[in-house]
Amino acid sequence: MTPVSVTVPTAAPAVAEGSAACAGSAAVDPAVSAGSAVSAGSVGAARLTVTSRTVAKLGRADEENEDCCAACPERGRFAIADGASTSARPEVWSRLLVHAFVCEAVDPLAPEVLAGLRERWWEQVSRPGLPWYARAKLQSGADASFLGLCVDVERRRWAATCVGDSCVFHLSGGRTRAAGPVLRAEDFSRFAQLVGSRGAAVPAPTVLGGTYQPGDVFVLATDALARLLLRADADRGRMPSPGWLAHSAGRFARMVAAYRHHGCLANDDTTLCVVQT
């Protein structure tokens, strides 16, 4: 399960927001309707399908879910972001990051793109009439982990750009061929590197990738679920079937509740994105 550093495939040309490449089933944004899921079929030669599921923290409403997931199987672009609960309006920031990667087909970590996203975040959250303490918190900004996956069907190659502790898994025959950026369940930390919406800093991402075979599966998971999957893989040599977990929204919600009840899963927003090649 050693990650391989590669060059990220060149992004597809940017597309206008609301175009076919980021509308309807082509793009999944569960944070807009938290707890929802979308399964998108293949178009043309893409032959990629995606299913995403998300569940908010126990005791929180769906609309308070700070995770966000977006997917466009036709373009081979998939992303998740996990907003830091202690930061300001992290749900807006995580949505902007994944939307830029999937719907606009740009790298949200590129300095000029990141600067524009920071401006858009401020425009969306800094509304007239906010109480002083809310405006003070906004000054500290939002933080989020980010993971963007590109799957090149023609060359059968994949590349993932990661900041923070949301993880990607490459499965072949049910076995884990690669995982990262966190490699062991015990390596998760409360102080993971994150992408911030304020300031000028540009985080240095971890880039993973390699080749794949038709029938392989890619799994994107935010930190709580990624830790559970890594622990299961280490203890039993195989993680719970991601396709089975994501089969229906009801099953995913029940399994998240059960894992939390038995202390296997932290009470955190929990998001899973399964890409079938």
Is the Cβ–Cβ distance between 157 and 149 less than 8 Å?
Answer: no
At 5 the pLDDT is 34
Q: Is 13 left (phi over 0), alpha (psi -120 to 50) or beta?
A: beta
Per-residue burial over 202-215, b if 16 or more Cβ lie within 10 Å, else e, is eeebbbbbbebeee
At 45 the pLDDT is 47
At 77 the pLDDT is 98
Strand partners, 81: 68, 146
Q: Is 85 left (phi over 0), alpha (psi -120 to 50) or beta?
A: alpha
Q: Kindly list the averaged pLDDT for each block of 10 residues, start to end, along the chain of length 277.
A: 36 30 38 39 63 95 94 97 93 97 97 96 89 85 96 97 96 94 88 88 92 97 96 91 93 96 94 97
At 195 the pLDDT is 95
Give the distance, in angstroms, between the CA of residue 93 and the centroid of all CA atoms in the same chain. 13
**Secondary structure of residue 37 in the 3-state scheme:** coil
Domains of the chain: 20-276 (3.60.40.10)
